[in-house]
Amino acid sequence: MASFLLGIGALITNNAFKNRGPIGSPSPSNFLLAKLLDDGPALWILEKQCPERPYLLCTQLSRLQTYRDSFSTDDHTLVNYFLWGGPLADLGALRASVEQEARQIVSAALLTYPYQQFRTSAHNAVKQFFRIGIGNGLDAYSEDEQPSITIREVYGELIYRSYRASSQILGNLDFTLPNLLQLTLLFGSGCSLIGIILWYRRFDRLILYVLIFTAIFIIGNAMVTGMLSAVSGRYQSRVIWLCHSSLS
pLDDT digits (tens, 9 = 90+) for 205-240: 777 777 778 888 889 999 998 898 888 888 888 888
C-alpha dihedral (44, 47, 50, 51), degrees to nearest 10: -140
- Tell me the pLDDT of the chain averaged across its residues: 81
Nearest to 80 by CA among 132, 35, 114: 35
- Mean pLDDT is highest, among 49-53, 79-83, 84-88, 105-109, for 105-109
Nearest to 117 by CA among 61, 25, 50, 37: 37
Between these two residues, 196 and 124, which has the higher pLDDT value? 124
Contacts of 65 (CB under 8 A, 6+ apart): 43, 47
pLDDT tens, residue by residue, 61-93 = 999 999 888 887 777 788 888 887 778 878 775
Nearest to 49 by CA among 107, 8, 131, 5: 107
User: Rounded to two decimals, what is the model's pTM?
Assistant: 0.74
Q: Looking at the chain, which runs of residues are DSSP E strands?
A: none
Worst-scoring range by mean pLDDT, 20-29, 51-60, 76-85, 125-134?
Answer: 20-29
